[in-house]
Amino acid sequence: MNLKPNSVLIGFDFGTKKMGVAVAQCITKTATPLNVLQIKNGNPNWEQLDQIINDYKPDLAIIGYPGKDNKSTSLLADKIEKFGSAIEKHYTMPTIFFDESYSTTMARHELRDLRRDRILSRRIKRGQVDSMAAKIILEQWLKLETLG
């Protein structure tokens, strides 16, 4: 995909109860986690999402995708696909589904390291892992996009 250096991306780590959100700058190839969004009845808080979209004006959405390896991930993957379609229609923004394997584990390790180095407080806040996972998904996608 040909993105401009000043393009902004938004990333999602979709879950059944909450969704991690992060934004990334193509020019720096870095992402920043945002506050987590609550999921109710399979849908995010669209008003909160509208505010994020209006604030950052992303050009592309990268959505973590677990694949359909088993019944559990297949059900979640169906919800994620529905969410991706809604993003495309609601914001007329292209979306890409990207393998989220190990993003939550990596997020926990990164947060642990930040706490160990006293960059973060000792306690992980609610949703911090999810938004850190969204950050990791974005940065991994940017890294692969740069290499490809």
The answer to whether the CB of 38 falls within 8 A of the CB of 45 is: yes
Tell me the residue range of the domain where 90 lies.
8-147
The reported pTM is 0.83
Residue 126 has pLDDT above 90, yes or no: no
Report the domain count for the chain.
Answer: 1
Cα distances (angstroms) measured from residue 143 to each of 32, 56, 85, 88, 104: 15, 21, 25, 23, 18
pLDDT digits (tens, 9 = 90+) for 45-96: 999 999 999 999 999 999 998 866 666 667 888 899 999 999 999 999 999 9
Is residue 19 one of the residues assigned to a domain? yes
Give me Rg for the CA atoms of the chain: 15
**Ranges assigned E (strand) in the chain:** 8-14, 18-25, 30-33, 37-40, 43-44, 60-65, 95-99
Residue 139 placed within a domain: yes
User: What is the distance of C-alpha 117 from the center of its chain?
Assistant: 25
- pLDDT tens digits, one per residue of 107-123: 777 777 767 666 666 66
Least confident of 31-45, 53-67, 96-110, 118-132: 118-132
**Residue 2 maps to a domain:** no
**CB contact at 8 A, 84 and 76:** no
Whether residue 55 is contained in a domain is answered as: yes
